[in-house]
Structures are given as structure tokens and as C-alpha cells.
């Protein structure tokens, strides 16, 4: 590969996703390094004062300040955009920084947002608590009900916001149908795609305007760093998101960007193997528990839709133990291989109790409304041998009398 091949759209447009995940966005220095260079610098120097003025005026290409640009972060942004099929991407310090920026950059007092009820706890806090503080009205609906989106839209609705599959209930939203409703009304769709990643699902192919990520999850995928990303059209990124991003500073560090670049190299391999493992574990647990919510199972009510939108069902699902919090905690405490942890997308198998961790900030009534009961657990199946994970669940289930 030549020094700038990875940033040449005439070349990268011919590369397939597996190649883009390793080489997309790469720009080598004059030293010809094989791995992406790590630029640990807060600022940049100029040969002449006129050059500085020209860069700040947008008349000259080049870096100005690492809150705005960094060569390592820029490589990550280009790679994610290529994988997503987006014109542009901006990276952020965390997934929640991405979700917050994707919403606030385009909303003002008097606007209205329609959001799916089933979502990550902090995303629900944005919708239920933060946006109303700024005079932005919100309505939450059953995201799987296409008609509910149209019914909830108002003349001042600016954004449809949803996650699919949803955290932790695994509800699936019909992306194409909801985006069609939005486009007909001039509404921007913002899709949280963290549970799938662009390796399994590319919402823009179904009409989404903006796709936001916690890159902490599948993209890093090894529990090392926090990161986020927002993808969209070049015009939206530069003229809607960038002014907010520039002046509020949810900036990703160069080191974390470099780590995520390394994670992307194995994303496709990891997530497909984890999806295979998750299906095996889900099939086992389905024989032992009252309910398992996994889009890869034919028992999932939206299995057919999920398989139309996704290349595989991913590594994450929820399950219901029965017996309330005591029994759910009992199962967690009896596990010997699977870790108790609230992260997802990791190469290790992790499980948590959403009602007391990721969604503890939601009112009990709101949790129950979307199916987050005291006996629900959320499982991320990792890269271990699935038979070992199954054996661990087998002994843990026996410990609690299942």
C-alpha cells in the first residue's frame, strides 16, 4: 500500500469491508511505518503567521489544535466512515458523548424528539431528563411499532432517535420503515448502532441520516478504552455537528483512537465468531430458563426482521431467570467463568443485572414498561469456547435449583 492509498476514495471505493477495517483511512508518514502512527500532541506549529491564519480561516489544509484535529483520530474517523458507508465521521471521547452531541447539535428550545422507550439507561436520561431542561419536548414510544412513530410525530418534531437491537430488551426497530416516515416529514433519524457495529448492520443502507456509536463496545472490543463516533453526510457533519463538537470539546484522545484502530482490524472476525458462540449459548439457555431474548433465535418475535437488517445477530442477549432479583443475583454469583460486568462487546463473556446497574437510574415504572424486570440479566458472549460458557451456566443454574 502506498502512503496515502487508505485516504484515496478512488482506491478505497473498490475495497471490501475486511480490507477497509485494516487499511481504510491509513496515512503513513515519511518513515513508512506499517502500523498507524500515534500523534501525541496537543497543538501544531506553522512556518509563517499567514499559514496559521489561513488554516483557521479554512483556506489551507492542515492541523490547528487537537481538540479539532489529530492525525491519529482522523485516521480512525475515516476508517469508521468507510466501514459505515458514510461520507464523514467525528470521533468522541465516549459513546455517551457521541449520543449527546448527535442530539444537542441539532436541537433548540421548542423542538420535539420522538424516541424508542427501549434504550440504554443513559440514553433514556438524555431523552427524559436532559432535553426537557432545555425546552425540548420528548415523546417515548414502542420503537417496534412502526405506526407509533407516525402517530407521535408533530409539526415541530426534528429527530427520531432509536437503538436496534435495543439495550437490554433486544427489541428490533424496522429501520427502513421508520426512516421512510422521517424523510417524508423532514425529520432527522439518529440511530444508536452500538449493539451491532457496522460489521453486522449499516443503518444508512436503510435510510438513516445519522449513526452514533459507543466505540468502546465492539470496535475496541477488548475492554481497553472508551470512545464514541458519529457518522453522517459531509454537510451534516461539517455544518451541524462540527460547530458543537469544536466548541464543547468531547474530544477523543489520540491514544484511545489508536487502540480502537487496532480493534477494528479484528472486528469482523471477532463479532462473527461471538455471534456464533452467542447462538449456541442462547439455544442452551432457552431450554433451562423461562425466556431468552436473542434476535438470532427463531423464538424472537422479530427474528425475521433482524435477519433482514443484520448480517448476524451479534454477541448480546437478555434472559429472564424467574424469581426476582435474588435469583438473578444468585445466578451471577454462582458463575465461575463468566464475569459480572456491565460492559458489552468485549472478547470476554460478561453478564450484568440491568435493573441494578445499567438502568438503575430509570424509574421502576419506566423499566417495567419496557420489560426490564428484576429477574432479567444481560449477557455478552465472548470468544471463549462456547462449550465452556455453557458448562459454567449449567453448574450455576444447578446451584440455584434450575
pLDDT(363) > 90: no
Q: What is the pLDDT of residue 334?
A: 98
Looking at beta carbons, which pairs linking 277-280 to residues 24 or more positions away fall under 8 Å?
A: 277/315, 277/381, 277/382, 277/383, 277/384, 277/386, 277/389, 278/313, 278/314, 278/315, 278/316, 278/317, 278/379, 278/381, 279/313, 280/386, 280/390
List the grid coordinates of 271. 463479532
51 pLDDT band, cuts 50/70/90, is: very high
The three-point CA angle 219-223-228 to 5° equals 45
Q: How far apart are CA 96 and CA 120, in angstroms?
A: 10
pLDDT(219) > 90: yes
Q: What is the pLDDT of residue 297?
A: 98
Average pLDDT over residues 161-170: 97
The per-residue pLDDT for range 258-293, each reduced to its tens digit, is: 999 999 999 999 999 999 999 999 999 999 999 999
Q: What is the pLDDT of residue 60?
A: 94
371 pLDDT band, cuts 50/70/90, is: very high
Q: Is 87 helix (H, G, I), strand (E, B) or coil?
A: coil
Q: Is 121 helix (H, G, I), strand (E, B) or coil?
A: helix
- How many Cβ atoms are within 10 Å of 269's Cβ, its own excluded? 13
Average pLDDT over residues 198-205: 98
Residue owning grid cell 474517523: 77
Among the listed ranges 31-40, 64-73, 328-337, 357-366, which one has the minimum average pLDDT value? 357-366
The per-residue pLDDT for range 235-261, each reduced to its tens digit, is: 999 999 999 999 999 999 999 999 999
Q: Are the CB atoms for 320 and 290 separated by under 8 Å?
A: yes
b/e map 30-65, b = 16+ CB within 10 Å: eeeeeebebbeeeebeeeeeeebeebeeeeeeebee
Provide the percentage of residues in the chain whose pLDDT is more than 70: 100
What pTM was computed for the model? 0.96
pLDDT(402) > 90: no
Q: Is 29 helix (H, G, I), strand (E, B) or coil?
A: coil
Q: How far apart are CA 197 and CA 191, in angstroms?
A: 11
The per-residue pLDDT for range 291-303, each reduced to its tens digit, is: 999 999 999 999 9
Mean pLDDT of the chain: 96
Query: For the chain, which domains are there?
Result: 268-400 (3.90.1150.10)
The DSSP output letter for 60 is S
Q: How many CA atoms lie within 13 A of 104 on its CB side?
A: 19
Q: What is the pLDDT of residue 204?
A: 98
Provide the percentage of residues in the chain whose pLDDT is more than 90: 97
Q: What is the pLDDT of residue 362?
A: 87
Reduced DSSP (H G I as helix, E B as strand, rest coil) percent helix, strand, coil of the chain, to 5: 45, 15, 45
Q: How far apart are CA 328 and CA 321, in angstroms?
A: 6
The per-residue pLDDT for range 96-148, each reduced to its tens digit, is: 999 999 999 999 999 999 999 999 999 999 999 999 999 999 999 999 999 99
**Beta-strand relationship, 228-232 and 291-293:** unpaired
List the grid coordinates of 312. 448476524
Amino acid at each position: 500500500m502506498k502512503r496515502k492509498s487508505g485516504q484515496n476514495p478512488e482506491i478505497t471505493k473498490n475495497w471490501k469491508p475486511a480490507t477497509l477495517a485494516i487499511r481504510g483511512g491509513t496515512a503513513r508518514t515519511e518513515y513508512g511505518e506499517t502500523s498507524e502512527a500515534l500523534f501525541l500532541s496537543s497543538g501544531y506549529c506553522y512556518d509563517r503567521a499567514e499559514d496559521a491564519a489561513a488554516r483557521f480561516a479554512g483556506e489551507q489544509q492542515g492541523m490547528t489544535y487537537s481538540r479539532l484535529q489529530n492525525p491519529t483520530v482522523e485516521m480512525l474517523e475515516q476508517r469508521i466512515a468507510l466501514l459505515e458507508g458514510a461520507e464523514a465521521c467525528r470521533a468522541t471521547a465516549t459513546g455517551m458523548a457521541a449520543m449527546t452531541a448527535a442530539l444537542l447539535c441539532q436541537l433548540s428550545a421548542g423542538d420535539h424528539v420522538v424516541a424508542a422507550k427501549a434504550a440504554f439507561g443513559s440514553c433514556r436520561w438524555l431523552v427524559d431528563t436532559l432535553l426537557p431542561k432545555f425546552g425540548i419536548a420528548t415523546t417515548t414510544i414502542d420503537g417496534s411499532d412502526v405506526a407509533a412513530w407516525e402517530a407521535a410525530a408533530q409539526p415541530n418534531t426534528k429527530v427520531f432517535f432509536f437503538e436496534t437491537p435495543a439495550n437490554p430488551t433486544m427489541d428490533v426497530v424496522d429501520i427502513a420503515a421508520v426512516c421512510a416516515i422521517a424523510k417524508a416529514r423532514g425529520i432527522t433519524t439518529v440511530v444508536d448502532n452500538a449493539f451491532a457495529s457496522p460489521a453486522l448492520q449499516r443503518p444508512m443502507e436503510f435510510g438513516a441520516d445519522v449513526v452514533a456509536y459507543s466505540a468502546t463496545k465492539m470496535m475496541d472490543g477488548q475492554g481497553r478504552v472508551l470512545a464514541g463516533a458519529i457518522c453522517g453526510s459531509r454537510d451534516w457533519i461539517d455544518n451541524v455537528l462540527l460547530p458543537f463538537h469544536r466548541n464543547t470539546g468531547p474530544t477523543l484522545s489520540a491514544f484511545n483512537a489508536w487502540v480502537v484502530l487496532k480493534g477494528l482490524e479484528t472486528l469482523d472476525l471477532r463479532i462473527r465468531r461471538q455471534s456464533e458462540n452467542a447462538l449456541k449459548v442462547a439455544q442452551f439457555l432457552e431450554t433451562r430458563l423461562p425466556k431468552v431474548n436473542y434476535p438470532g433465535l427463531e423464538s424472537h418475535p422479530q427474528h425475521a426482521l433482524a435477519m433482514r437488517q443484520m448480517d448476524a445477530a451479534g454477541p448480546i442477549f437478555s434472559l429472564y431467570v424467574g424469581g426476582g432479583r435474588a435469583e438473578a443475583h444468585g445466578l451471577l454469583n454462582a458463575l465461575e467463568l463468566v464475569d459480572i460486568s456491565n460492559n458489552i462487546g468485549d472478547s470476554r463473556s460478561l453478564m450484568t443485572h440491568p435493573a441494578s446497574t445499567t438502568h438503575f437510574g430509570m424509574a421502576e415504572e419506566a423499566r417495567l414498561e419496557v420489560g426490564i424486570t428484576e429477574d432479567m440479566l444481560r449477557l455478552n458472549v465472548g470468544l471463549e469456547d462456547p462449550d465452556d460458557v455453557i458448562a459454567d451456566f449449567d453448574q450455576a443454574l444447578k446451584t440455584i435449583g434450575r
